[in-house]
Amino acid sequence: MIMKNNDLQLNKSMKLTTLITILALSAANAFGQQYTVSGYVKDQATGEVLVGATVYDAALQKGATTNGYGFYSLSLPAGSHTVKCSFVGYQTVEFSANLNGNVSHNFGLTEETVSLDAVTITAEGRDMALRTNQFCEERLTMRSIRQMPSMFGEADVVKVVQLQSGVKTLGDGSSGMFVRGGGNDQNLILIDEAPIYNPSHLFGLVSIFNPDAVNHVELFKSNMPAQYGGRVSSVIDCKMKEGNPNKFDFAVGISPLSSTLTASGPVLRERASFLVSARKSLIDLFCNAGDVFSLMPAFYDVNAKLNFQINSRNRLFLSFYNGKDRIESSDGFFNRWGNTSGTLRWNVNIGSRLFVNTSVIVSDYTNYMEFNENKHKYRWETGITDVNLKTDLAFYISPENTVKAGLGTTHHHFVPGQTADSLQSIPQINAFEHFAYLLHDFTPVEWLGVNYGVRLSVFQNCGEATWYEYNSEHQVVGTEKSSSGVYKTHTSIEPRVNVNFKLAADRSLKLGYARNAQYMQVLQNSTLSYSSLETWFPANANIKPVLVDVVSAGWFQNLGSQYSLSAELYYKWYTNQIDYVDHARLLNNPYIEGEVRTGTARAYGLELNARKTQGRLTGGISYTYSRSLRTIDGINDGREYSSLYDIPHDLKINANYRLTANWSASAVWIYTSGRPTTLPVGFYQTENSYSDLVVPIYSERNSSRFPAYHRLDLSVGYEPEKQGRVVWSANFGLYNVYGRKNPLGYRFDTDHGQVRVMQTTLFRLLPNFAVKARF
């Protein structure tokens, strides 16, 4: 019966694929003799590709944007054309082309000289929202990220993503991201296409994204394009810089938490370049565990990239990331975690209109903890290792008609929890995850754009394995073993469609639907997003994949040349959402699935945004009303309850004011409703007169809330144009300026039977700075 269902789904998928192909080809035939201008758009000074740059023929009102690799392809009728290339913050350049055949041309753009009244910082999102048929997309350049106040002086990608509407976090300093009602583990985080399973250093105070190594970040909230899959909430796609192919650049930076060293330059002039950037925490260089803190944290990370232009059509990239955190105490507690990834990528453009990207990706995440107790050394090790091979192709039939397709496979090796005692270890699991997708972006008439596609994903548990059978009471009733081959298969068809009604040049209405499947989840004890002891656990014979259906609608409006407004609505339905029973034991428990319950969830919200994108003063205001609710048998007596990140009201205001050509000031104010928590409604005393064991009593799960969270951050930045041999830049800031005591958590203490409530607060009025030298 399962096979029949799979066959049925595959049949539907084949029909949809055929339909897309026919539509794309028929649309292509509607155009006459056309030639193509194609190539890359780069920053003239640094050689970095510019993603999202526009290449257009103003006379014909036809244009294309560069893809995630900086490549564009613009098909135009035969004849003479003036093709312009523009990008936010860069001077527009022109290229005269007499098209009687396909033309290859690379654009090199120069940054605009800063004019105080014409600074444009975040206009990209403003025009992109109107222009593209894709929905729920934010593109963050490092330039815009650096404008935001930061916690420790250093620009932080994750902290800026957290400032976007619809993205929530739990408490100060965390790198956890909860996008549109989704969990922290439901975000696909990529560095040069390699998945990252824990984006945090220092328990989340710093993200793993080194700002000196990042080119740009794309954030997709819920309506992901079909080339992305495996997570149900969002995609955070980070592309590393490629290194300057023209000359050597060096940068040294220091902030309270870390120091950074970056080098880039040509390997073969204008054909091959490299980038290496390394960060290291400072605290462990000067202190030993126990000197200042009982727990001593430390981290480092290294980004490296080598790219080689074989010829005008073929390029090769090799990216590497390695980051590790370590925390230890003088009494034997030791915890080390980190990601390592490598990507070998081959880009080839065939016949000007076809762009092919083929990648081999390796990603590894491990987490190792040990501590001493009663003469015994305990250890706990978790991790996941992926090997991925994939190919994506984009066929730019015309400016109005693009087809993308791809396929790939990933081998996952899960180590959910390994201890010295094999009886307490969670069995290791191997799995294959295959995918294929087809996507058609089509603008049949000027006022209508459609972006639709389908993704087929197949997840297969395979290889040597041990798993357990559970009865209806979630107790183990049997053990199953497999020595080889596939023993469980999950298949999902994931249709996605976005419709863009371009009502006028300055406004559009978008509607979208998407289905996403996720085959692995984090099992984690902590009620915060700080713990590094997470266990990635796959779908298997006992746990089904999470499926999410989401519908969205959005109104996008530009007001004049400086302002934009948007309003977006979404509603999401979750199937097979997991949560844990009360007192779930997730460590040292081979029967971990017995602690998990599955059910349904729903999330909905309204996001309102207003932005000013030009002038000395830029910034935005966003307000989100959203809910995230779950209904799971066996939890909260089966009644609906709030998820830990059900934070209804969320107001974020950010502003950047250009003081002079070199100095700017920024401010961010955040206000959110208190996050849900389970607080006791009473207590009882047990045991005896020799101890006062006071036991809390609870009512419903997550039925209480912390007080509202709010804070104001200010910063001043100095960043001159590069003129001399050494250019100094600096950032000084204050985090939580008015010292708001936002609670991180409560602890209930007892004193002779009396209950005292202790509140933990992080970071009241935290000054910070970062200094950098480039040469």
Partner 1 sequence: MHIFFKRAVSLHLIATALFSYLFITACTEDEISLDLKNAGNPYQIAVDGGVFSYGGHQFLKLTVPFEQNGKAKPASGAKVEVSDGQNTYQYRETEKEGEYESVEEFAGEVGKVYTLKIEYNGNTYFASDSMVAATEIELEQIPAGEQTKYMKIEHWRDGEVVFCDFASIELSKHKFGCVETARWIFRDIETDYYVKTPKNLVLYDHCYSHESSIPQGVFPMATWGSGAAYNESAQPIQCVKMSMSDRYYDYLVSTFNLTDWSGGMFSTISGNVKTNLSKGGTGYFYASDVKIRYLDLDELLEIIEMFGNKELSDDYEKQ
Work out whether 477 is an interface residue with partner 1 (CB under 8 A).
no
Work out whether 475 is an interface residue with partner 1 (CB under 8 A).
no
Task: Tell the residue number behind the tokens 């298997």, with chain if given.
Answer: 540
Closer residue to partner 1 in complex, CB, 493/587: 587
Kindly state the smallest distance separating residue 251's Cβ from partner 1, in Å.
22
User: Rule CB under 8 A: which of 524-553 touch partner 1?
Assistant: 525-528, 530-531, 533
Kindly state the smallest distance separating residue 11's Cβ from partner 1, in Å.
42
Cα-Cα-Cα-Cα dihedral sign, residues 509, 237, 215, 305: negative
Kindly state the smallest distance separating residue 587's Cβ from partner 1, in Å.
5
For the chain, counts of helices (H) and of strands (E): 5, 50
- DSSP secondary structure code for residue 20 in this structure: H
- Give me the 486-525 binding string for partner 1, x by CB under 8 A, dash otherwise: ---------------------------------------x
What's the CA gap between 703 and 372, in Å, rounded? 37
Contact (CB, 8 A) for 766 and 713: no
Q: Which two tokens stand for residue 417?
A: 């929890």
Q: Which position among 94, 291, 469, 721 is part of the footprint of partner 1 (CB under 8 A)?
A: 291
Contact (CB, 8 A) for 39 and 105: yes
Contact (CB, 8 A) for 118 and 89: no
- Give me the 720-749 binding string for partner 1, x by CB under 8 A, dash otherwise: ---------------------x--xxxx--
Of 29-37, 55-63, 103-111, 576-584, the segment contacting partner 1 by CB under 8 A is: 576-584
Half-sphere exposure of 88 (CA within 13 A, CB side): 21
Work out whether 282 is an interface residue with partner 1 (CB under 8 A).
yes
Contact (CB, 8 A) for 357 and 376: no
Q: What is the side-by-side order of every strand in the sheet holding 62-65?
A: 62-65, 54-57, 79-86, 93-99
Could you tell me how far CA 134 lies from the centroid of its own chain? 17
Contact (CB, 8 A) for 371 and 378: yes
Contact (CB, 8 A) for 203 and 171: no
Work out whether 91 is an interface residue with partner 1 (CB under 8 A).
no
- What residue type is assigned to position 761 of the chain? T
Work out whether 378 is an interface residue with partner 1 (CB under 8 A).
yes
State the number of binding residues for partner 1 (CB under 8 A): 77
Closer residue to partner 1 in complex, CB, 60/287: 287
Work out whether 484 is an interface residue with partner 1 (CB under 8 A).
no
Work out whether 581 is an interface residue with partner 1 (CB under 8 A).
yes
User: Rule CB under 8 A: which of 126-145 touch partner 1?
Assistant: none
Work out whether 601 is an interface residue with partner 1 (CB under 8 A).
no
Half-sphere exposure of 619 (CA within 13 A, CB side): 18
- DSSP secondary structure code for residue 518 in this structure: E
Kindly state the smallest distance separating residue 420's Cβ from partner 1, in Å.
10
User: Rule CB under 8 A: which of 245-264 touch partner 1?
Assistant: 256
Work out whether 113 is an interface residue with partner 1 (CB under 8 A).
no
Q: Which position among 582, 591, 649, 660 is part of the footprint of partner 1 (CB under 8 A)?
A: 582
Closer residue to partner 1 in complex, CB, 568/595: 595
**Cα dihedral value 470, 473, 474, 478, nearest 10:** -20
Contact (CB, 8 A) for 348 and 359: no
Kindly state the smallest distance separating residue 686's Cβ from partner 1, in Å.
5
Work out whether 766 is an interface residue with partner 1 (CB under 8 A).
yes
Kindly state the smallest distance separating residue 596's Cβ from partner 1, in Å.
11
Work out whether 476 is an interface residue with partner 1 (CB under 8 A).
no
Contact (CB, 8 A) for 426 and 405: no
Of 381-389, 457-465, 579-587, 600-608, the segment contacting partner 1 by CB under 8 A is: 579-587
Work out whether 309 is an interface residue with partner 1 (CB under 8 A).
no
Work out whether 422 is an interface residue with partner 1 (CB under 8 A).
no
Work out whether 703 is an interface residue with partner 1 (CB under 8 A).
yes
Work out whether 699 is an interface residue with partner 1 (CB under 8 A).
yes
Half-sphere exposure of 389 (CA within 13 A, CB side): 2
Closer residue to partner 1 in complex, CB, 116/757: 757
Q: Which position among 117, 286, 422, 560 is part of the footprint of partner 1 (CB under 8 A)?
A: 286
Task: Tell the residue number behind the tokens 């989401």, with chain if given.
Answer: 550
Work out whether 300 is an interface residue with partner 1 (CB under 8 A).
no
Q: Which two tokens stand for residue 224?
A: 């992901």
Closer residue to partner 1 in complex, CB, 40/763: 763
Work out whether 376 is an interface residue with partner 1 (CB under 8 A).
yes
User: Rule CB under 8 A: which of 22-61 touch partner 1?
Assistant: none
Closer residue to partner 1 in complex, CB, 389/420: 420
Question: 343-382 burial, b if ≥16 CB within 10 A, otherwise e?
Answer: bebebbbeebbbbbbbbebebbbbbbbbbeeeeeebebbb
Kindly state the smallest distance separating residue 175's Cβ from partner 1, in Å.
16
What's the CA gap between 155 and 143, in Å, rounded? 10
Q: Collect all residues with Cβ–Cβ distance below 8 Å to 561 and sequence separation of at least 6.
A: 614
Kindly state the smallest distance separating residue 236's Cβ from partner 1, in Å.
25
Q: Which position among 8, 59, 287, 310 is part of the footprint of partner 1 (CB under 8 A)?
A: 287
Work out whether 320 is an interface residue with partner 1 (CB under 8 A).
no
User: Rule CB under 8 A: which of 651-690 touch partner 1?
Assistant: 678-690
What's the CA gap between 637 and 459, in Å, rounded? 32
Cα-Cα-Cα-Cα dihedral sign, residues 636, 639, 645, 650: negative
Of 31-39, 54-62, 67-75, 691-699, the segment contacting partner 1 by CB under 8 A is: 691-699
